[in-house]
Amino acid sequence: MRVGLLPNEGGGSYRFVIIALAIVGILISSLPVIVVTIMSFSAADNTGFPPEALSLRWYWDVIALFTADDASSAQSVVDSTLTSLLVAVIVMGISTFVCIPLAYALARGDRRIRGGMELLFTLPLVFPLVILGIAFLLIAESLRVDIGIWRIVIPHVALVLPFVLRNCLGAMNGISVEIEEAAVSLGASPLRAIWDVVIPLMKAGILAGLIFALIISFNEFTITFFMYTIDVSTLPIWMYSRTVSSLDPSTLALSVFIIVADVVLIVLVDKLIAGRASLF
Amino acid sequence: MVNKFSRRTVLSAGAGMATTLAMPSILRAGSHQPLAGKELRLLTWSDNTGLAVLDHIAKPFEEKTGARIIADRTGSTSEMVAKLRAAGDRAQYDVITLAGVGAVELAGDGLLAKPDLNLLPNLEQVDPRFRTGADGHGIGYLLWTGGLIYNTKTFKEPPTSYAQMWDAAHKNRLFLPPSTWTDALDTIFATGKMIGGDGTNADEAFAKLAELRDSILTFGENPAQLSELFRSDALDIGGVYAPAFYAKELMDPANSNMGATYDVDEGFFADLMYTIVPKSKPGDDDVVHAFLDFTLDAEVQGVMAEAVLNGPINQNAVMSEAAKASPFIIKPEQMGEAAVVHDKSFIADVREDWINRYNQTLS
Amino acid sequence: MSIALSRSRALAFSLPALIAILPFLGACFYIFRFSISGDKGTIDGYSIQPYLDLMTPFFGRSVWLTLKLAFVATLVAMLLAVPLAFLLTSLRSPLARRCLTVTILLPLILNLLVQAYGWILLLGPSGVLNSSLRSLGIIDRPIFLLFNETGVLLGLIQTSLPLAVFPIVSSVRGLSQEHLEAASSLGASQWRTFFDVTVPLLRPGLFGAASIVFAFNASAFAIPLLLGGRRVQMMGVAIRDMISPLFNWSGAAAAGMILIFITLIVLLFSSWLVRMTSENVRH
């Protein structure tokens, strides 16, 4: 039987405190989103909260945006969404592909090297994004070649590496060498043992990493703001030019759409990778 | 397959199709659509003033000339300048609209072309003071004007002096422009004038501004946020700030609680905005000049003035009666004593110092 | 039998990741080079002037404020993240787990501008909270939760919470069952088990999560801008101001280097702590 960290019954003050703190955490995460979602169903033009009457009118506005030819920006919202998706998927693929072997090497290798490497791969998180944005832009402009979508992919990969690596490493931590040794002693080659034994055990961490990469890249704004061009632009950039002008309920309805899109992506990745044995 | 997503292919395919479809009309329209098939890449503001550029300048221009405008609507003036500086001699835009200080900076970097004024016939109708700037690199566009924004619930009559901001009754219900905006420099100037100087008496002005430190609710970094705070009756007054952001709200004070005034003892502030052309623009000269000229058209100027409450610079600007009567739109002939137009070289000298001191004094 | 990783294989395993991070390192070097440039807008010559220019009381206060807020926000985020991770791992229904996961991820998904707007509706001077408290007669004057340090703290905690929860979830999954079972079969109380067994076992994961959260918070700039009403001058805001209206790019680079240096020290310290404590736990 699994001894949970959260007892199902009894436990007195411990259970109470843990649950209370978790609820505070959930509220802090979700309150603004809840408010925004409620407001997006408002029937009024202004944003008095709570709304006096409800309607779907702002959602129809947003649907019209997606279907009509939109002249308010260089890229239509459909183009930007496709670019965002493409970038996010490439970033997700690359970052996971490079982080799994690295996590394995770090977990099994020299502990001193591990500290240094972990630090190196945390760096992208530490740098203020604005200055990274300018640096990437100056470098990209000095290349004098049009690298298309890679203008955005390359910085995004750097940005998500810390998240993907941390999650993969966290998963590796729980996998003992003995399991692998058992596989090898049964005649598997070491690489085979990694593929058949270690990677399936890492699944939860890999999945978390994939989802982080996807979400962060899909929603990244600051660096993309410097890197986008008229030809290659993303959804958050498009969204920005809308939200700056006015925060009317249609913007909020659009935000709800984006949240739904993200959730669909998360579930999709979850299904694709984890299959039936979904770990989330 | 991946190539399918490439914006360029999609674009050229789209353009090809558009040309095919447009063919008969081109044949029919003949010389009426002299720029059919040409492209112009435009960079403008992300806020509602940029949106108005698309609706009231770009669209009619496309209809009139047959040229296609690809617009990028992201950023403030300083962000535009940063992007253009980084791009150096590989600009991706043909025309940019921006505030005066940005044009001066980019011209100083040697990144701007000098438009040929002979190709801009509408310039004749423009008030001579506002025709060009930034050493001939900027073509006048519209006047950005700043005054006081106030809560119509609190003020039955519009405030008549910036001194109202110091009234203890508005403690924690006051906003100021963020240090990074030119409006902050205007605020320093206004404070200087309020305490009896000519506006350049920065030391005294900062000492006076320091008194506001604990009264400020927020800095108006985000115009939409401010309008929400006014709507929910959390703000009383603030400035120097541009009514331009609030064309919609000012029409409907009952719901927005927002009012604006230029009629203050210390005067209001006006800054000429420009259209500029990078040296290394990708597009053709004729379409660029046609566009610059179009922004100065009497009708376009009138429509823009009404849409974003900017001051028109074309003296013959065609405006509706409502716009003519609107207290929020400053007409060139009103630019008398009360208007403060900064000496650009003075501002360039003190700008960095003032921005830093404003930050240090107030936040 | 050797399962131990040979040096060459370890290198081969690390190589793809090193290549992926190379452009970023290039950018880092670029920023470093810029921070010792003799010119403010371009890389030209060498000078330490950008650093000297930052030696002002104002910048010093900004550094202190950044560290203070990042530290407090990290502490609170960890305090909330651990229970959330426990809850997430003990939920049995996959649907409930998915919902909770998505809820925790929400702050990363939604445009910050829109989230800030949600907070204003809730906690603004005339927001839901203030107006209900006022109508209940609890307060006369609105309490100011936004546009000051409280607002920034709230925003930092919110945006960094997902970064804290998921690494802890991974460590919780890796917890050895035997330890917990042993503790509970010995009749230790829940709190005793928590402090004597769970926390020490989780410690490497906790420090890892905390350091990532701290680093993230220290470089924040959108939150202080939107929820601090610009009145809270964290370093991220100062750096942004230098980049775009002041065009003091060498100064921004220098400030960035200082921020990175400070954060790195904190990270090194925490990884040293992890090593010390995980050695104690090993038996």
C256 vs A279, higher pLDDT: C256
Structure tokens at A98: 């490079």
Q: Is residue A65 part of a domain?
A: no
C175 vs B16, higher pLDDT: C175
Q: Which of A141, A203, A128 is nearest to A172 (CA)?
A: A203
Q: Which residue is listed with tokens 């000519």?
A: B198
User: Which CATH number fits the domain that encloses residue A230?
Assistant: 1.10.3720.10
Contacts 24+ apart (CB under 8 A), B6-12: B6/A148, B6/A149, B7/A75, B7/A79, B7/A83, B7/A231, B7/A232, B8/A148, B8/A231, B10/A79, B11/A231
- 8 Å CB contact of A266 and C102: yes
Domains held by chain C: number: 1
Common-topology check for domains B34-143+271-332 and B146-269+336-362: yes
Q: Which of A180, A200, A174, A193 is nearest to A274 (CA)?
A: A200
B230 in Cβ contact with A247 (< 8 Å): no
- 8 Å CB contact of A230 and B92: yes
Closest CB to C126: pick one of B76, B82, B232.
Answer: B232
Q: Is residue C9 part of a domain?
A: no
Question: Which are the contacts of C154, defined by CB distance < 8 A and separation ≥ 6?
Answer: A28, C119, C123, C145, C227
Q: Is residue A196 part of a domain?
A: yes
A255 in Cβ contact with C112 (< 8 Å): no
Q: Is residue C24 part of a domain?
A: no
Q: Which domain holds residue A228?
A: 73-245
Determine the pLDDT at residue A71.
Answer: 52
How many beta-carbon contacts under 8 Å exist across A and C?
A: 323
Residue numbers in A near B222 (CB within 8 A): 244
Q: Could you give the 3-state DSSP secondary structure of residue B109? A: coil
B294 in Cβ contact with B304 (< 8 Å): no
Chains linked to B by 3 or more Cβ pairs within 8 Å: A, C
The letter for the amino acid at C273 is: L
Q: Which residues of C touch B (CB under 8 A)?
A: 41, 58, 113, 116-117, 120-121, 124-127, 142, 144, 146-147, 225-226, 229-233, 241, 243-248
Closest CB to A137: pick one of B46, B86, B224.
Answer: B86
Measure the CA–CA gap between B141 and C61, rounded to whole angstroms: 42
- 8 Å CB contact of B90 and A46: no
Interface test with B, best of C31, C147, C226 (most B CBs within 10 A): C147
Residue numbers in C near B82 (CB within 8 A): 243-244, 247
Residue numbers in A near B225 (CB within 8 A): 247
Chain A CB within 8 Å of residue B50 CB: yes
Q: Is residue C6 part of a domain?
A: no
Closest CB to C245: pick one of B78, B172, B219.
Answer: B78
Chain B's closest residue to A44, CA to CA, is B255
Q: So what's the ipTM on this one?
A: 0.87
Q: Is residue A110 part of a domain?
A: yes
Reading chain B (363 residues) residue by residue, the pLDDT tens digits are: 333 333 333 334 444 444 444 444 444 444 567 888 899 999 998 888 888 999 899 999 999 999 999 888 877 888 888 888 888 888 889 999 998 888 988 998 899 999 999 999 999 999 888 999 888 999 999 999 999 999 999 999 999 999 999 999 999 999 999 988 889 999 999 999 999 998 889 999 999 999 999 999 999 888 888 988 998 889 999 989 999 999 889 999 998 999 999 999 999 999 999 999 999 899 999 999 999 999 999 999 999 999 999 999 999 999 999 888 888 998 877 877 788 888 877 888 888 899 989 998 987
Q: Is residue A1 part of a domain?
A: no
A163 in Cβ contact with A94 (< 8 Å): no
Domains held by chain A: number: 1
Q: Is residue C19 part of a domain?
A: no
Q: List chain B domain ranges.
A: 34-143+271-332, 146-269+336-362
> B34-143+271-332, which class in CATH?
alpha beta
Residue numbers in A near C154 (CB within 8 A): 28
Structure tokens at C192: 């005793």
Q: Is residue C26 part of a domain?
A: no
Determine the pLDDT at residue A74.
Answer: 55
Residue numbers in B near C230 (CB within 8 A): 178-179, 218-219, 221, 363
How many Cα neighbours within 13 Å face the side chain of C45? 8
> B146-269+336-362, which class in CATH?
alpha beta
Chain B CB within 8 Å of residue A48 CB: yes
Structure tokens at A279: 């770990």
Residue numbers in B near A245 (CB within 8 A): 46-48, 50-51, 224
Interface test with A, best of B2, B5, B246 (most A CBs within 10 A): B5
pTM to 2 decimal places: 0.87
Q: Which residue is listed with tokens 């005066």?
A: B100
With bands split at pLDDT 50, 70 and 90, how would you rate the model's confidence at C179? confident
CA dihedral (C46, C50, C53, C59) in degrees, to 10, reads: -160
Q: Which domain holds residue C98?
A: 53-281
Q: Is residue C264 part of a domain?
A: yes
Measure the CA–CA gap between A208 and A273, rounded to whole angstroms: 11
- 8 Å CB contact of B70 and A74: yes
Reading chain A (280 residues) residue by residue, the pLDDT tens digits are: 344 566 655 667 888 899 999 999 999 999 999 988 888 888 877 666 777 788 888 888 888 877 776 555 556 788 888 999 999 999 999 999 999 999 989 888 877 788 788 888 888 887 888 889 989 998 998 887 888 899 999 999 999 998 899 888 877 877 778 888 888 888 888 888 888 888 888 887 788 888 889 989 998 988 998 899 888 888 888 888 777 766 777 778 888 888 888 888 888 777 776 544 344 4
Question: Which are the contacts of A116, defined by CB distance < 8 A and separation ≥ 6?
Answer: none
Burial of C131 (0-12, 13-18, 19+ CB in 10 A): middle
User: Which CATH number fits the domain that encloses residue C118?
Assistant: 1.10.3720.10
B82 in Cβ contact with A222 (< 8 Å): no
